[in-house]
């Protein structure tokens, strides 16, 4: 009898032990699933550059800076599971690079530049469960967010600044490849110049490349030689050659009134040059296109479960997506006032900078300028 009671007690204790163990296991697993410290998967993001490269001191670099800031703000590390980039040396690298990042399971993949539009569309169709974003082009796919900018607004202000500061009444514009994006830069710039002084001559040169500094240098050389004292470039890494030409001329004559207007990021540092131990700077200002802001914003939306797939988000002066840099204090007080006045008119809708060839021709024609 005693043996029977002991056996029943032992069995009860065993059942109780198993029940407590099961409860403990359930609690532990529930804690892991609910996202206790160090257990939840972190949002990961990456980008593919165009041929300009990640250190083009312009477009791609701005995007990468935005991605790095997002990574650091969210405690991510560079590499798988965090944030990263792949650099494209030629057009043939776009699709393989996008596929590589998709296989590395990044939650969101950016294609930087309009040249990645078709590759993004191709991969997005093949991988409908992946999220992508394209900068400077609209890709109509449900798993692609399109990021656009009103380049014509900031380039209009750059044109105002150039017109106010030129001494020779001749300025220049160096573009990379002829595309809708670069045409918006040209249209806005020419409209801004003409709005201040319709008699100022604007020299135009499209180099056909975003990764050829030698072509940018040659284009700038022709413009400066033909009387331009300010050259605005929208040419990616090709624009580095514009700076090289301006700095060389400054070295030859420190008193030369030679200026460059940078693009995409604040390119003030790119204009620094030393002559006989004294430091000069040839960057008048920069038409900043805040690609970093756009990349960060879309990444943040995606992380919070609000990925804007199938949508186009456009950033302009009103939402700080574009702005004119003031680093270096090279713009006069009079110029700064004019820039601010035109900025307010654009934001208020009193002036609409042209963004296409047709709009530019009409805008200039209304001012009495032959396109």
Judge residue 11's burial from the number of C-beta atoms within 10 Å of its C-beta, 0-12 exposed, 13-18 middle, 19 or more buried.
exposed
The continuous run of DSSP H or E covering 223 comes out as helix 213-225
* CA distance to 62, 88, 93, 182, 351, per residue, from 55 (Å): 9, 12, 17, 20, 35
Query: Of 55, 64, 111, 58, which Cα lies nearest the Cα of 83?
Result: 64
DSSP class of residue 78 equals B
Instruction: Give yes or no for residue 234 having a pLDDT over 90.
Output: yes
Please count the other Cβ atoms lying within 10 Å of the Cβ belonging to residue 306. Answer: 10
Measured between alpha carbons, how far is 107 from 271 in angstroms, rounded to an integer? 38
* Domains located in the chain, CATH noted: 45-149 (3.40.50.2300), 151-288+332-365 (3.40.50.2300)
For 16-25, 92-101, 174-183, which range has the lowest pLDDT when averaged over its residues? 16-25
Asked if 261 contacts 229 with a C-beta cutoff of 8 angstroms, the reply is no
Check residue 175 and give its pLDDT.
98
Beta strands in 73-221 (DSSP E): 83-86, 108-112, 131-135, 144-149, 170-175, 201-206
* CA distance to 141, 228, 247, 332, per residue, from 273 (Å): 46, 20, 6, 21
Give the pLDDT confidence of 268-282 residue by residue, as tens digits: 999 999 999 999 999
Measured between alpha carbons, how far is 144 from 50 in angstroms, rounded to an integer? 18
Q: CA angle at residue 241 from 147 to 177, to 5 degrees?
A: 40
String of DSSP letters for 15-47: HHHHHHHHHHHHHHHHHHHTT-TTTSPPP-EEE
Check residue 367 and give its pLDDT.
93
Asked if 284 contacts 260 with a C-beta cutoff of 8 angstroms, the reply is yes
Measured between alpha carbons, how far is 224 from 248 in angstroms, rounded to an integer? 12
Measured between alpha carbons, how far is 212 from 245 in angstroms, rounded to an integer? 14
Give the pLDDT confidence of 293-317 residue by residue, as tens digits: 999 999 999 999 999 999 999 999 9
Query: Of 357, 321, 349, which Cα lies nearest the Cα of 148?
Result: 321
Please count the other Cβ atoms lying within 10 Å of the Cβ belonging to residue 206. Answer: 19
Q: Categorize the per-residue pLDDT at 26 as very low, low, confident or very high, splitting at 50, 70 and 90.
A: very low
Check residue 115 and give its pLDDT.
93
Judge residue 103's burial from the number of C-beta atoms within 10 Å of its C-beta, 0-12 exposed, 13-18 middle, 19 or more buried.
exposed
Asked if 51 contacts 89 with a C-beta cutoff of 8 angstroms, the reply is yes
Q: How many CA atoms lie within 13 A of 361 on its CB side?
A: 3
Instruction: Give yes or no for residue 13 having a pLDDT over 80.
Output: no
Q: Give the max Cα distance, the chain.
A: 117
Say if pTM beats, i.e. exceeds, 0.85.
no
Q: Categorize the per-residue pLDDT at 56 as very low, low, confident or very high, splitting at 50, 70 and 90.
A: confident
Instruction: Give yes or no for residue 207 having a pLDDT over 80.
Output: yes
């Amino acid at each position: 009898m005693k043996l029977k009671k002991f056996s029943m007690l032992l069995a009860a204790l065993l059942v109780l032990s198993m029940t407590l163990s099961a409860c403990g296991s359930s609690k532990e697993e529930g804690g892991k699933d609910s996202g206790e410290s160090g257990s939840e998967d972190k949002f990961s993001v990456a980008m593919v550059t165009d041929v300009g490269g990640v250190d083009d001191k312009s477009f791609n670099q701005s995007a990468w800076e935005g991605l790095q800031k997002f990574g650091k703000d969210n405690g991510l590390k560079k590499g798988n599971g965090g944030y990263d980039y792949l650099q494209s040396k030629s057009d043939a690298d776009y699709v393989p690079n996008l596929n590589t990042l998709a296989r590395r399971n990044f939650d969101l993949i950016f294609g930087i530049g309009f040249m990645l539009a078709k590759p993004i569309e191709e991969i997005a169709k093949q991988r409908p469960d992946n999220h992508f974003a394209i900068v400077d082009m609209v890709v109509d796919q449900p798993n692609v967010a399109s990021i656009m900018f009103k380049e014509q607004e900031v380039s209009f202000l750059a044109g105002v600044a150039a017109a106010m500061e030129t001494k020779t009444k001749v300025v220049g514009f160096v573009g990379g490849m002829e595309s809708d994006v670069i045409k918006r830069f040209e249209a806005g710039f020419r409209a801004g110049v003409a709005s201040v002084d319709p008699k100022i001559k604007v020299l135009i040169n499209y180099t056909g490349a975003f990764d050829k500094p030698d072509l940018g240098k040659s284009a700038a050389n022709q413009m400066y030689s033909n009387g331009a004292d300010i050259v605005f470039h929208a040419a990616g890494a090709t624009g580095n050659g514009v700076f090289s030409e301006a700095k060389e001329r400054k070295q030859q004559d420190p008193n030369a009134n030679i200026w460059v207007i940078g693009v995409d990021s604040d390119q003030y540092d790119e204009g620094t040059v030393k002559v006989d131990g004294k430091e000069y700077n040839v960057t008048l200002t920069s038409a900043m296109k805040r690609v970093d802001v756009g990349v960060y914003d879309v990444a943040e939306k995606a992380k919070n479960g609000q990925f804007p797939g199938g949508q186009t988000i456009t950033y302009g002066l009103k939402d700080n997506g574009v702005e004119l840099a003031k680093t270096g204090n090279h713009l006069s007080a009079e110029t700064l006032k004019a820039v601010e006045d035109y900025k307010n008119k654009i934001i208020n809708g009193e002036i609409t900078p042209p963004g296409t060839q047709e709009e530019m021709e009409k805008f200039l024609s209304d001012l009495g300028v032959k396109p």
